[in-house]
Chains A and B, each alone.
Chain A
Amino acid sequence: MNIFRGIADFSHLAAIIILLHKIWKSRSCAGISGKSQILFAIVFTTRYLDLLTSFISLYNTSMKVIYISCSYATVYLIYMKFRATYDGNHDSFRVEFLVVPVGGLAVLINHDFALLEILWTFSIYLESVAILPQLFMISKTGEAETITTHYLFCLGLYRALYLFNWIWRFYFEGFFDMIAIVAGLVQTVLYCDFFYLYVTKVLKGKKLSLPA
């Protein structure tokens, strides 16, 4: 564990909690892409199957359980409890255009042609594009609630910090995972546009609104 990964995991946890809390408190999922949240639930489910096969540490196991349970709770709130507030018209990204190519790529490019490893690879590739429906929805509505932008900032920051974690681990441990690094780079690049808007608008107290 290193400082970058520690802050990154904390930022990821913060993002998940911020979103769950926002939906629960406001009793509304307006402006939230349910499709992205379903993709994140799939990401965690396919990545953390090793909960059943290997134990790494109490931290590792407990965080995985928290991530999985919060992501399913979020999907439940969006599609069941507060379904009336779900904005399906603007959450119209065709996720099959993400899942199918990512699934194919995971079968073609992986570290080991074993089921758990292919599922892990699928999860890594899927996570890198899972935020697209949410970003697409914001571009369609032309705006985002400030709390939603904080959620997105924490979510984007987490994988950006993982890039520094991989630099650290390569330098100090010789650890190197090309699949995770490339996917993490793609994932972080997808947030750049949002990061720019977040820093120039939200941090200056303005509302995030895209030129309609």
Chain B
Amino acid sequence: ADESATHDEL
């Protein structure tokens, strides 16, 4: 899983 370390979605 490549979830982003910083969440860039609202």
Contacts and interface: CB of A to CB of B under 8 A. Distances in A.
A174 interface: yes
A114 to B, nearest CB: 10
B2 A63 contact: no
A12 B9 CA distance: 13
Interface residues of B, number: 10
Contacts of A111: 3
Interface-central residue, B1, B2, B10, by most chain A CB under 10 Å:
B10
B10 to A, nearest CB: 6
Contacts of B6: 50, 54, 56
Q: Number of contact residues on A: which range applies?
A: 20 to 34
B9 to A, nearest CB: 7
Interface in A173-191: 174-180
Given A176-B3, A179-B3, 9 more contacts: A12-B10, A47-B7, A50-B6, A50-B7, A60-B10, A120-B7, A165-B9, A174-B2, A180-B9
Interface in A1-43: 5, 9, 12
Nearest to A66: B10
A56 B4 contact: no
B6 to A, nearest CB: 5
B1 A177 contact: yes
A155 to B, nearest CB: 13
Contacts of A12: 10
A67 interface: yes
Nearest to B3: A177
